[in-house]
Amino acid sequence: MVTDPGQRSAIGEVYRRAFRAYAAAGGTNAERYADDPARQATQLRVGASAAWLGEHMGEVPVLVIACRRIAKLSAGSQADVWGSLLPAAWSYMLAARARRLGTAWTTLHLDHEAEVAALLGLPEDIRQGVLIPTAYYTGETFKAAPRQPLDTVLHLDRW
Ligand SMILES: Cc1cc2nc3c(=O)[nH]c(=O)nc-3n(C[C@H](O)[C@H](O)[C@H](O)COP(=O)(O)O)c2cc1C
């Protein structure tokens, strides 16, 4: 967990650089949904929100970076490796939400993972899985997000 303003600002600089590269490469791909105006509008809002975070990550009061010790990352499936970390991180986000704290799942800084590891003094075998900015949210306009129809995402018995 990172709360020191200098450390947050340094991580924020790395994140800003990673986000700008991501945005320059096409970002949220809102044009992919040109034939679905409602979905495109949502995607544009997500993009605007992500762009704001891209410039302000270092100002968020608490940056949680969930890590785990990994001797060597295999080239094959990493499901067992990250599967040990992600449920804990997600549980943290749900617990935060219950306490009026907002969070966002972010991984773009991992393009420069070693740089952030050096900032934090992480040992070589400690790998980062997610960077979760955490702060009290303002406003109460949350509502359920639209979902794709179940039969387009659920496969029964075979793909
Ligand atoms: C694996 C993964 C990595 C993500 N990385 C980032 C990221 O680096 N930056 C970001 O702004 N959003 C990232 N997102 C998306 C956001 O966490 C969030 O899901 C998205 O902005 C949709 O917002 P909503 O969940 O509030 O609707 C990532 C999502 C996933 C699943």
Say whether pLDDT at 74 is over 90. Answer: no
The residues lining ligand 1, judged by C-beta closer than 6 Å to any ligand atom, are 46, 50, 53, 104-108, 145
Say whether pLDDT at 52 is over 80. Answer: yes
Q: Is there a contact between 78 and 129 (Cβ–Cβ < 8 Å)?
A: no
Residue nearest to atom 1 of ligand 1 (CA): 107
Residue nearest to atom 6 of ligand 1 (CA): 106
Provide the pLDDT for residue 35.
87
Q: Is there a contact between 70 and 7 (Cβ–Cβ < 8 Å)?
A: no
Provide the pLDDT for residue 29.
73
Under the banding of pLDDT at 50, 70 and 90, the label for residue 108 is very high
Provide the pLDDT for residue 37.
87
- Taking CA atoms, 72 is separated from 114, 127, 130, 136, in Å, by 15, 10, 18, 37
- Give the C-alpha separation, 133 to 56, whole Å: 10
Under the banding of pLDDT at 50, 70 and 90, the label for residue 5 is very high
Span 94-104, mean pLDDT?
A: 97
Provide the pLDDT for residue 16.
98
Residue nearest to atom 22 of ligand 1 (CA): 46
Thinking of the domain 5-152, which architecture would CATH place it in?
3-Layer(aba) Sandwich (3.40)
Taking only Cα atoms into account, the Rg of the chain, rounded to an integer number of angstroms, comes to 18
* Distance from Cα 124 to the centre of ligand 1, integer Å: 26
Burial grade of 26 (CB within 10 A; 0-12, 13-18, 19 or more)? exposed
Question: Taking Cα atoms as reference points, which of 42, 44, 45, 52 lies closest to residue 19?
Answer: 52
Q: Which atom of ligand 1 is nearest to the CA of 46?
A: 21
Domain ranges of the chain: 5-152
